Structure 1
Amino acid sequence: MALREDQIVRYSRQILLREVGGRGQEALLAGTVRVDGIGVSGLTVAAYLAGGGTPVAGAGSLTLGPWAPGFLMAPSDVGLPLTEALAREVPALNPDAAATGPGGGLVAELPAAWSGDAPWVALGGDGMRAAVVFRSAEGCVWCFGETVRHLGSPPDGALGVAAGTLGALVFQRLRLGLGPALGGRWLVPPGVVEALEPRRCARCAAREAPSAP
């Protein structure tokens, strides 16, 4: 899908990045990402992905609470299912991001159910830090699951916004084929990013264990 002239203008700052370019922007515009999360992290990731041109659709059956209005949701969206609210607000933010075509990944606030095509990006925390865990199609599903099951919900406030912002960036990189197949990052107040080492499932741990002499 060749970029239109108005799209070249809209996404010019992304296209100028060496890691993105025109072909990369075309990849970001292809395939709808499902977002499952009604907290500040989930709504932030939806807004940033939509702004960058990735089609966004809601997942799950949760409804928006009184905390939802912000730079994506309006007060009139309170009480609506996430799927309906995103279907209304995302095209208003960026018509290119209206959900169309097959699914192209999932971003979810923990706890969540994981299914469908990768990339998968989990937004969580441990009570003090925010966490972003991710896997591409080549990443081990079981290692990903083992990692996220030890995490809780993402934090609120500025740290939650930062987690959503980082989650959107990570998803874009995975969509572009950049970065490791499985990994994670901690976000520590006031904004320090640290490596989060994924846990290993029993199968991968056995494969990586040194053989006996």
Structure 2
Amino acid sequence: MVPVRLTGPRLAVREYHHTEGDVDALHALFGDPEVTRHLPFGPSDREACADQVELYLEEAMAEERDTYRLAVTRLADAEEPEDATPVGQASLTLDGHRAAHLGCVLAREFWGRGYAGEVVGLLCGLAFDALDLHRLAARVAVANEASVKVLTGLGFRLEGRLRHDGFKDGVWSDSFLYSLLADEWPGPGARRPGPDR
């Protein structure tokens, strides 16, 4: 395993650690009903979050890694990003043919600061530069306007609407599918999205 460490102007993206701090941070994130509102699952308890961190570490150790679930930290929170408490999660899931789906979730107190755009930009760099992928895709709940702004601000294009793509709390919901190709990615810092979540 080659650990992932990405650094932007204000944020770092790193592997999870099986520590109380990382489990608590994931629970603070995924235990918040407002944060999980647009996710395919509802709020998680701490035990489920501990199990998730263990799964993330197993995925990271896979001989042919195809899943990257990474902790997002603020550079201002510690001298070393490895020591900082996570404030969000970034994910990249490879699905063959040099393609992947990406995701980003931030704690509510960090919404609207441009952090999601920075995280997605770092994931694009990982995907297109380090992993030599050709295509990135992202599914976004139709009601999640902030995430749509982040993606379009980075050059992602709308491919269509996926009808009844999700089922949560007894209700079907639609998603938008966005994508970005390697030759459309201008590189880090080329575009700056507006306010985001």
TM (normalized to structure 2)? Answer: 0.28
Structure ranking higher in helix proportion: 1
Please tell me whether Structure 1 or Structure 2 has the larger radius of gyration of its CA atoms: 1
Structure ranking higher in strand proportion: 2
TM (normalized to structure 1)? Answer: 0.26
